[in-house]
Amino acid sequence: MSEAIKNKGWTVTSAGLGINLALGILYAWSVFKSAIEASIKAGGDGAFTWDLAKLNDPYSVCCLVFAFSMILAGKCQDKFGPRITAFIGGLLVGVGLIWISQTTSYLAWVLGFGVLAGAGMGFGYSASTPPGLKWFPASKTGLIAGLIVAGFGLAPVYIAPLSKYLIGAFGVNSAMLVYGVSFVGVVCGLSLLLSNPPAGYVPVETNAAALKKKAVHNDVDWKDVIKTLNFWKLWMIYFVGAGAGLMVISSVSGIAKASMGELAFIAVGIMAIGNAGGRIITGVLSDKFGRNQTILAVHLFQGVLMLAAIPLVGSKGTGAVAIVLLATFMGFNYGANLALFPSIAKDLWGIKAYGVNYGILFTAWGVGGFVLSKVSAMLKASTGSMTSSFIIAAILLSISGMLTLTLDGKKEEAPEGAILTPGLGLTMADGGEKVKEDKKKKK
């Protein structure tokens, strides 16, 4: 069993990373937005005719739908497995992008990119992480989660320059057609490589410190999860961390234009490297130093960067290097959230109902992205600068960082004789019913 199963774990992890590389087209929205804005200002036959204040709406709706579809996708993943769930995601993204490739209608883009592609991203993303985590021991949770979700953050490295080329050569609509057709093949194809471990499989723990820890029983149903104060604290922290990052990501191309001109897409790509690096590096750090401590450091650092951005952004005297460094570190801190929160969800509530539990927590990402990117766009349209947005984000990040200090990281200890089965949760040698009985007695 051993060698083949070990290899399967890395295959599943690689497939999840590849799926996220395709779905990460969301983070290249600032490139598409700049092209749409240019088309609106240029006018003429076939041009986009949107209200400038609504430029971020397809992106904001996409974030919102992406997040809430994770609940349904999580249920689908927990019940039917990752292959079917990711396959559905590939089809939805493809149909959405192909549809908007045929129109400049504002409503069509909101529905095609925001609703269909957003739902597809939720299904694909939801199915990519859980199977990977099930193949590895707890001491590698942060690393594996970071590697898989790094694909989503890294996507703009190739999508930003490719989009710049496709838009320049063929236009925004044709670029979407290329992506729509390509992503159906890529996501649906890679979904076939996703699989859960066989029943009874227990990953081998090689970390000495982890081996000394007592087994814990923390497979919690979503109905119990949302009753805890811990969940709502985590939701608020995630809301702020994700919202502040998405606010910048959605506008980074426009921010960089003042200093980098037509090479602004480079800042998008480099920010993506920081985004992906933040997921992997903080995932590993959180395995070693703890999730709460890592989240605290990330949020406070991001708050400092928001304040540092005020004199830099929009100034024609700001050098390209300063803008790129700022974007890179902001991307790093934002990306960290996408590795830390799935890891802490597994730590606290287990793997049995992981899909739906993390799906519910992930709504914070969507609501945060929708609210703060929308507020940022409105403030930018009315004031002409990002200053107010950066100040608000810095204040919120300071609050969320302090809220991290109040999190309870305790886990429930396993009853005697329990056997951990990743695909099934915690069972007992006598059939598993004793776990439930012991839990009731404790209550």
Alpha helices in 112-207 (DSSP H): 118-128, 130-134, 141-154, 156-170, 172-191
pLDDT averaged over the chain? 82
Q: Which of 83-87, 147-151, 171-175, 204-208 has the lowest mean pLDDT?
A: 204-208
* 14-56 pLDDT tens trace: 999 999 999 888 877 878 888 999 999 888 888 888 988 888 8
Cα distances (angstroms) measured from residue 148 to each of 223, 289, 290, 382 = 27, 21, 20, 39
Bridge partners for 419 per DSSP: 427
Asked whether the beta carbons of 372 and 247 are under 8 A apart, the reply is: yes
Residue 315: predicted pLDDT? 63
Cα–Cα distance for residue pair 404/344, rounded to 1 Å: 12
- Tell me, yes or no, if the pTM score tops 0.85: no
Residue 316: predicted pLDDT? 64
Alpha helices in 313-353 (DSSP H): 320-349
For 2-195+215-438, CATH number? 1.20.1250.20
Residue 303: predicted pLDDT? 94
The pLDDT of 383-403, averaged and rounded, is 89
Alpha helices in 350-414 (DSSP H): 354-383, 387-404
The two structure tokens encoding residue 110? 């909101």
Cα–Cα distance for residue pair 51/55, rounded to 1 Å: 7
CA 115 to chain centre: 17
Q: Which of 112-126, 132-146, 379-393 has the lowest mean pLDDT?
A: 379-393
* 294-342 pLDDT tens trace: 999 999 999 999 998 888 776 666 677 887 888 889 889 999 999 999 9
Domains of the chain, residue spans: 2-195+215-438
